[in-house]
Structure 1
Amino acid sequence: MSQPLFNPFKDLIFDEHFCFLSGALTNENITVFPQWLMDHFKLGDERIEMMDKAKTYNYSDLKLPCTSEVKIAFEALDVKVQAAYKNGFEGMASLDEELLFQWSGRMVYGLLYYEMTYERDRLLKRGEEFELSSALKERFGHFHLMLQSLIEPITFVGKKPWTIAVFPLKYSADIFSYRDDAINLMLQFGVNGFGFIACLQDNGVIGEKQKEILDKMEGHVLHPVQFEELYARFHYSDYILQYKPNYKVESRDTGITIEVDTDGKEPIFGFWDENIFAQLLSNYWQVYGIEREDILKFQKPPLSFLENPFNENFINPETIALPF
Structure 2
Amino acid sequence: MPAQIYHPFEKSNFSNSTCFLTGQKLQSEEEKIQIFPQWLMSMYGLEDKPFKLLDESMATYKDLKLPCSAQVNEAYLEPLEAEIAATFEIGYNAIKELDEQKLFQWAGKLLYGIIFNEIQSGIKLQHAQGEEFNISQSIIHKFSQLHLMLQSINQPVYFEDFKPFSLFLFKVENNEEEFGYRDEINTLTFALRIKDFGLIICLQDNGANRMYHREVLEKIEGKTLHPIQFEEFSGRIFYSAYLFNRLPEYNILPVGDDIYIEAMPLRGMSTKPLFDTWNNKTYGQVLESFWKNWGFLLLEIIKDPEHPMSFLFDADGGFKNADDISLPH
1:300–1:136 Cα change, 3 Å:
closer
The corresponding residue for 1:303 is 309
The corresponding residue for 2:168 is 165
Equivalent-residue separation in structure 2 for 1:104 and 1:88 (angstroms)? 16
The corresponding residue for 2:60 is 58
Shift of 1:322: 2.4
The corresponding residue for 2:319 is 314
The corresponding residue for 2:79 is 76
Matched ranges for 1:97-116 at <5 A: 97-116=100-119
1:109–1:286 Cα change, 3 Å:
same
Counterpart residue identity of residue 145, structure 2: H
Equivalent-residue separation in structure 1 for 2:126 and 2:225 (angstroms)? 43
- Whether contact under 8 Å (1:112, 1:183) holds in the other structure is no
Q: Secondary structure at the match of 1:86?
A: helix
1:118–1:167 Cα change, 3 Å:
same
- Whether contact under 8 Å (2:235, 2:286) holds in the other structure is yes
**Deviations, residues 70-92 of structure 1 (Å, cap 9, x unaligned):** 21111111111111112210111
The TM-score with structure 1 as length reference comes to 0.95
Shift of 1:114: 1.0
Q: Secondary structure at the match of 2:181?
A: strand
Equivalent-residue separation in structure 1 for 2:313 and 2:207 (angstroms)? 23
**Deviations, residues 176-233 of structure 1 (Å, cap 9, x unaligned):** 1000112221111011311100000011001111122222113321111111111110
Equivalent-residue separation in structure 2 for 1:214 and 1:93 (angstroms)? 16
Counterpart residue identity of residue 25, structure 1: K
The corresponding residue for 1:20 is 20
Equivalent-residue separation in structure 1 for 2:304 and 2:324 (angstroms)? 25
Equivalent-residue separation in structure 2 for 1:114 and 1:121 (angstroms)? 11
Question: Where has structure 1 moved over 3 Å in runs of 4 or more?
Answer: 1-4, 263-267
The corresponding residue for 1:204 is 207
The corresponding residue for 1:85 is 88
**Deviations, residues 147-197 of structure 1 (Å, cap 9, x unaligned):** 011101101111101011111011111211000112221111011311100
- Whether contact under 8 Å (1:170, 1:191) holds in the other structure is no
1:127 and 2:130 equivalent? yes
Equivalent-residue separation in structure 2 for 1:172 and 1:285 (angstroms)? 15
The corresponding residue for 2:274 is 268
Counterpart residue identity of residue 296, structure 1: I
Equivalent-residue separation in structure 2 for 1:155 and 1:299 (angstroms)? 45
Equivalent-residue separation in structure 2 for 1:59 and 1:202 (angstroms)? 28
Q: Secondary structure at the match of 2:224?
A: coil
1:264–1:111 Cα change, 3 Å:
closer
Equivalent-residue separation in structure 1 for 2:267 and 2:127 (angstroms)? 42
1:268–1:319 Cα change, 3 Å:
same
The TM-score with structure 2 as length reference comes to 0.93
Equivalent-residue separation in structure 2 for 1:189 and 1:323 (angstroms)? 24
1:183 and 2:186 equivalent? yes
Equivalent-residue separation in structure 2 for 1:245 and 1:22 (angstroms)? 23
Structure 1 range deviating more: 198-207 or 216-225: 216-225
Equivalent-residue separation in structure 2 for 1:51 and 1:312 (angstroms)? 38
Shift of 1:2: 5.3
1:112–1:244 Cα change, 3 Å:
same
Shift of 1:3: 6.7
Unaligned runs of 5+ in 2: none
1:249 and 2:252 equivalent? yes
Equivalent-residue separation in structure 2 for 1:281 and 1:214 (angstroms)? 18
The corresponding residue for 1:286 is 292
1:211–1:314 Cα change, 3 Å:
same
Q: Percent identity?
A: 35
Equivalent-residue separation in structure 2 for 1:135 and 1:167 (angstroms)? 32
Q: Secondary structure at the match of 2:300?
A: helix
The corresponding residue for 2:156 is 153
Shift of 1:4: 4.0
Equivalent-residue separation in structure 2 for 1:41 and 1:63 (angstroms)? 18
